[in-house]
Structure 1
């Protein structure tokens, strides 16, 4: 990559970081990125009902479709006073671009957008099919719904999900279930007793954690169960016993586990606790919730996303590794599964050959003074272009169902 292109890449990453874009508020960054895609010569740029951008580079002759995708939204930045660099400044210092989302995933967005534009400029006549870049909304909360809408429109033959993988190729991830557990009590003055719904929840959470024995997979690790929030209702009424208390758990899913099997285990533990704890009333259910998109549409989640895995011998994995090598990097197939990604739809539900690949490290996501290294960003951009070139130069079909499994 020459210096002019490297500068363009840094500037685009900076520009993206300067747009605050929490989930549901991606409208301004989407408008900016759409204008960038149009100016770069993308053949079409579509905005779907939820607000994700779908930019297409068409190479003219029939062939496969490769989807590169990354998110526009980001985690909350917290108190800007805790940051050494303003979270939406995009400051470059000591070879790093600082700001919320620089690693997760605005640097990746910039790298993907430019990689496909430059591939069109440099190699249009020698390739076939089309490359699609999807800039996603609501990945932090409603990744399943948002990616399903994109997948239905694009119908990809292969997917590279952009996540900070330290430039290694990841071939699967644990799934995720969001489980809500409610306990119930009577609303009365707090001086009247101690068996409130909150008291009951404390005992039930302890029991659920005690009963839970995580399944373990040598590649994916543990199917963890993590308490993420506790709320009682009415809220902030200190002299009234709460009529209801809700705990929310994050349950990581291994291949072969289903929503039904996960909830069966939780409900069995609750039933046992109800028999042992006098006065306990409780229920459990998957709780994906719903939210607003910047387009005005409502988006919702079932609260469950499956695990997915593609076999390391799959031709698509080999092709991606070859692309990484041709970009000048040592091709490394990661020995660990990735973060939660949109791959749960492409690789899990649709059995489309899918890998996770991107610059930077997952440990830098969601932290104060988040940054991405410019050298890694540039290498990631080269790799995305090289992977797309390898994929679109092929005339034979990449098999999907064989070797790609939920």
Structure 2
């Protein structure tokens, strides 16, 4: 079956998901630390009211001031499994809005695509999961168990929303989770782990013309970067190319020197700083990798008694893997084939998602959704509107397959 030929349910849901995506995108939800209105409040409250209006029991829980999670619960009142859909409300900054072809929060539609920040990552997929569940309710579909809509804040940051969701007990008893992210409707059963690390290197401030009177931390951090590049190549050679996630990586991302005060061309700074975005594959052990980085620092100290570096792990998210035979994976896989009429594609997520913490809580996860995998966070972000409709149909069918399968409780 290929639903693109159109049936009444598909066409009805297609219109609904397009309209809901536009409404969500047109409510900016970039987190801006110094802006009292720069958070997810408006879009979260909009979503909460939308869920209530379509008859879903809805809960709003503030994670930190101005940043509320929304939880929707659809209970069949029949014994069975619990399926969770997850889609976050925050989006990354739009950057230079004048560089966009259209206003980044206009949700402009042209040539079959909707443009705007969040169309792809991941308000479009949030609209898909809501519309899919609404479709089940509108058609009075019979299913067992329970569906939970997890709509957290801060996925693009430290994932405070999903951590709060789990801490409040909402994830207890969940049997499978569908993480709604832009993956071209590939069935993603693995995702890379992530470590975010800050490294402070200390020297001694001096006049640039009298360099021997100071200690230049820039040379020291440069030596460290060279050694980290060697470590990255060693890990890639040791582990090879992962079939879903490709290569592990160690990426210096932010370099700052000096850390405080104004930089001057004739002043050797007393301190410099860098951040590392470390991405791992399932074969890597984070503790072992961290130990290798510490060993590099110790070796550099032995070579130079003035070398002083302090490493701080800001975030530590392990990689994840869900077996193909897991019921939630099979439900999605079969639904993709049923809805599109084409073989489903297994794949992996290049970055980390809120699913990381659900996985750590013991919940099998699969990541899938509408949108080009390489478009998130770019200027002129977009999603194909037909893909939104297809994804909605996949989510709808997968929920019924998972909850009504023979393995139901």
Instruction: State the TM-score bracket (shorter-chain normalisation).
Output: 0.7 to 0.9
- Of the structure 1 ranges 63-72 and 336-345, higher mean CA displacement relative to structure 2 is found in 336-345
- Of the structure 1 ranges 267-276 and 98-107, higher mean CA displacement relative to structure 2 is found in 267-276
Matches within 5 A, 1:227-246: 227-232=252-257, 233-238=259-264, 240-246=267-273
Instruction: State the partner residue of 1:366.
Output: 377
Matched, 1:221 2:246: yes
- Of the structure 1 ranges 226-235 and 182-191, higher mean CA displacement relative to structure 2 is found in 182-191
Match of 1:127 among 136, 139, 143: 143
Matched, 1:99 2:116: yes
CA change 1:331–1:137 in 2 (3 A) is farther
CA change 1:94–1:174 in 2 (3 A) is same
User: What TM-score does the superposition give when structure 1 sets the normalisation length?
Assistant: 0.88
Tell me the distance in 1 between the aligned counterparts of 2:115 and 2:104. Answer: 7
Matched, 1:187 2:205: yes
Q: CA deviation at 1:243?
A: 2.0
- Of the structure 1 ranges 212-221 and 26-35, higher mean CA displacement relative to structure 2 is found in 212-221
> Contact (CA 8 Å) 2:63, 2:161: kept in 1 or not?
no
Instruction: State the partner residue of 2:35.
Output: none
Matched, 1:76 2:93: yes
Q: CA deviation at 1:277?
A: 3.6
Give structure 1 stretches of 5+ with no counterpart. Answer: 288-302, 399-406
Match of 1:330 among 338, 342, 348: 342
- Of the structure 1 ranges 194-203 and 159-168, higher mean CA displacement relative to structure 2 is found in 194-203
RMSD, aligned CA: 2.0
Q: CA deviation at 1:319?
A: 2.0
Match of 2:387 among 376, 384, 389: 376
Q: Deviations for 1:117-167, whole angstroms, at most 9, x for unmatched residues?
A: 11122134x211111111121111112x43233233132110000111111
Matches within 5 A, 1:131-142: 131-142=147-158
Instruction: State the partner residue of 2:40.
Output: 26
Q: CA deviation at 1:334?
A: 1.9
Tell me the distance in 1 between the aligned counterparts of 2:347 and 2:405. Answer: 28
> Contact (CA 8 Å) 2:58, 2:70: kept in 1 or not?
no
> Contact (CA 8 Å) 1:234, 1:242: kept in 2 or not?
no
User: What TM-score does the superposition give when structure 2 sets the normalisation length?
Assistant: 0.87
Matches within 5 A, 1:36-115: 36-50=50-64, 51-115=68-132
CA change 1:59–1:46 in 2 (3 A) is farther
Tell me the distance in 1 between the aligned counterparts of 2:357 and 2:109. Answer: 35
Tell me the distance in 2 between the aligned counterparts of 1:397 and 1:244. Answer: 59
Tell me the distance in 2 between the aligned counterparts of 1:154 and 1:7. Answer: 31
> Contact (CA 8 Å) 1:168, 1:331: kept in 2 or not?
no
> Contact (CA 8 Å) 1:182, 1:283: kept in 2 or not?
yes
Matched, 1:276 2:284: no
For the residue of structure 2 that corresponds to 1:247, the secondary structure is: strand
CA change 1:266–1:363 in 2 (3 A) is same
Match of 1:208 among 228, 232, 242: 228
> Contact (CA 8 Å) 1:37, 1:45: kept in 2 or not?
no
User: Number of aligned pairs?
Assistant: 380
CA change 1:119–1:56 in 2 (3 A) is same
Q: CA deviation at 1:256?
A: 4.7
Give structure 2 stretches of 5+ with no counterpart. Answer: 1-8, 33-38
Instruction: State the partner residue of 1:314.
Output: 326
- Of the structure 1 ranges 229-238 and 114-123, higher mean CA displacement relative to structure 2 is found in 229-238
Tell me the distance in 2 between the aligned counterparts of 1:323 and 1:211. Answer: 42
Q: CA deviation at 1:249?
A: 0.7
Q: CA deviation at 1:186?
A: 1.8
CA change 1:81–1:396 in 2 (3 A) is same
CA change 1:342–1:30 in 2 (3 A) is same
Matched, 1:11 2:19: yes
